[in-house]
Amino acid sequence: MRKRYSGPQIVAKLREADILLGKGKIVPEVCKDIEISQQTYYRWRQKYGGMSPDMAKQLRAIQKENAQLKRLVADQALDISILKIAAEGNF
């Protein structure tokens, strides 16, 4: 069964993992306790390592805004190329 976690949930799980690691557990045991794979743990640690839940929400919002801006630039580039092709016939 595959479960998706939001940014704040991931940060909470990483904090829980830090607590368990601080108590002397090893990473495989911690991953089993928080119900994720070791690969997922290391990937999350790399991406969300020192973030607070608010920072994770901001990251998500910035990524969404960036995707919208990329789409806007692509649409404008397409419009410009269409106008150039149309203008070639006029001269």
pLDDT digits (tens, 9 = 90+) for 59-73: 888 999 999 999 999
What does the DSSP 8-state code read for residue 4?
-
Tell me which residue range forms the domain holding 82. 7-88
Does residue 2 sit within a domain? no
Does residue 46 sit within a domain? yes
Q: pTM for the complete prediction?
A: 0.60
Position 67 scores a pLDDT of 95
Does residue 78 sit within a domain? yes
Phi/psi zone of residue 90: left (φ > 0), alpha (ψ -120 to 50 degrees), beta?
A: alpha
Task: Report how many domains make up the chain.
Answer: 1
Cα–Cα distance for residue pair 80/36, rounded to 1 Å: 48
Averaged pLDDT of the chain: 88
Rounded to an integer, the average pLDDT of 21-39 is: 92
Rounded to an integer, the average pLDDT of 34-39 is: 92
Cα–Cα distance for residue pair 20/15, rounded to 1 Å: 9
Does residue 56 sit within a domain? yes
Rounded to an integer, the average pLDDT of 12-33 is: 92
Q: Which amino acid is present at 58?
A: Q
